[in-house]
Amino acid sequence: MMLILSGHEIDQCLPMAAAITGMKEAFAVSSAGNAEMPNRTVIPLGNESDVAIFMPVHIKDSSRASVKSLTFLPDNENSDLPIIQAVVLIFDLLTGAPVALMEGSRLTAIRTAAGGGASVDLLARKDSTSLAMLGSGKQARAGIEAACAVRDIKSIRLYSPTPGNAQKLADDLFKAKWCPDIQVVNNPDQAVGGADIVWTATTSSTPTFSQASVAPGTHIVGIGSFQPSMIEIEPSILNLASIFIDQSEACWSEAGEIISARAQGLVDVDEVVELGEIILGLHPGRANDEEITVFKSVGIAAQDAVASSIALDTAKTRGVGTTVSI
């Protein structure tokens, strides 16, 4: 028997607080070398930017293995279709049987935001109260929820090249009552200037804000871009910051900002630290309140494994989902 969970049911079974705790576990597992996690397989689909991506993983000592399959079609936005569509399939290792199939786009949005939220919890100044969000899609909304879950965010400035989308997000956030002060601004530097936390949730191929707009002590979260051609954060900023990442092999091969900064001689390999090393007690994290910190994530399969296990266990406990025989 296999349990099927829709995107709405994922929302019920993967609350942000639990997801953030889970992502800390996922990053620690990855940094400790306790996950069988090959590089994701990326298959071009014809149009230059269209790809299919497959991300298998088994966390050691777990009774489950999973694989996320997704498509990334940027032009879908023009047809009012999701850019990313995905499913996650979970197998029981005792029997080899598939035991769950989950809508993967919503799970990805939550786990990606929760990974950024884990970085905010570990690296942002404790007195951080202001957030700049660059982006206005589902990932931006989830990112705001994650930031608000770990810091007392009192003001949010939103920027998007499509102002109507940013205003819609602001209206939704106002109804959710996560933050008392939400503003849509006209340019990205206006959003970033003076913000304690800067969060990018785009697939931009060019930097989304300037180095000059970043104040000392800022924590920057870059979670939107996941291919070498995508660069959300100006590489020169990395020369001024302490850099933390989700997983070394993934970021050195897929994170455009990291790859570009290294090519320009701005970053050395030994200057980049996996977030899991902080969780494992191998790195102290932020050194002082003036330090600029950056967390760059391209997303790793261990995040999907932990997030989907949380959702599956919760769904079983609550009786959520549809069980089918295959």
- What residue segments make up the domains of the chain, in order of their start? 2-107+302-324, 123-299
Identity (one letter) of the amino acid at 300? I
- 256/227 Cα distance (integer angstroms): 6
- 203/223 Cα distance (integer angstroms): 9
Question: What CATH topology corresponds to 123-299?
Answer: Rossmann fold (3.40.50)
pTM across the whole model: 0.95
What are the two backbone dihedrals, phi and then psi, of residue 130, each rounded to the nearest 5 degrees? -120, 140
What are the two backbone dihedrals, phi and then psi, of residue 90, each rounded to the nearest 5 degrees? -115, 135
Residue 161, CA distances (Å) to 28, 187, 256, 260 in order: 36, 8, 21, 24
Run means of pLDDT, 10 residues per run, the chain, 326 residues: 97 98 98 95 89 97 97 88 94 97 97 98 98 94 96 96 91 84 94 96 88 97 84 93 95 90 90 97 97 96 98 98 94
Give pLDDT, residue 280: 98
132: its two tokens: 């700049």
- 57/319 Cα distance (integer angstroms): 26
Task: Say which residue the tokens 């090249």 belong to.
Answer: 161
* Three-state SS at 294: strand
Give pLDDT, residue 56: 98
CB 145 within 8 A of CB 113: yes
What are the two backbone dihedrals, phi and then psi, of residue 262, each rounded to the nearest 5 degrees? -65, -40
Residue 255, CA distances (Å) to 37, 210, 262 in order: 17, 18, 11
CATH superfamily of 2-107+302-324: ornithine cyclodeaminase, domain 1 (3.30.1780.10)
Give pLDDT, residue 5: 98
CB 299 within 8 A of CB 225: no
- 54/306 Cα distance (integer angstroms): 17
Neighbours of 49 (CB within 10 A): 16
Buried b (16+ CB within 10 A) or exposed e, 260-285: bbbeeebbeeeebbbbbbbbeeebeb
Cα–Cα–Cα angle for 40, 225, 6, nearest 5°?
Answer: 65
Give pLDDT, residue 256: 87
